[in-house]
Amino acid sequence: MKYTVVWKPEAERKLTELWLAAANRSAVTKAADRIDRELRYDAHIKGESREEPTRVLLIPPLGVFFRVDAPDRKVSVLTVWGRLENDENE
């Protein structure tokens, strides 16, 4: 089943912050693109289940919490976090 992937504004802001802070921006961009691709198809079985209806997907260096609305064929990315190379010294 194909879904439309929508990043909530808070998730988009956080992704931008992560990208700006990253030593390897290409890795962040590739991970975000892969998250979009992964969630576009069969999102209801991707990642791991959390408290319904939330799921988690890890595509290093990023992770996202998302919700699937199967009747509307929509995936909402709720939040994103990252483990970036320049975080290792903190």
What are the chain's domains?
A: 4-83 (3.30.2310.20)
pLDDT at 86: 54
Quick one: which of 69, 18, 83 has its CA closest to 39? 69
CA distance 28 to 23: 9
Give the sheet arrangement for strand 54-59, strand by strand.
4-7, 74-82, 62-69, 54-59, 48-49
Percent of the chain with pLDDT over 90: 86
pLDDT tens for each residue of 11-50: 999 999 999 999 999 999 999 999 999 999 999 999 999 8
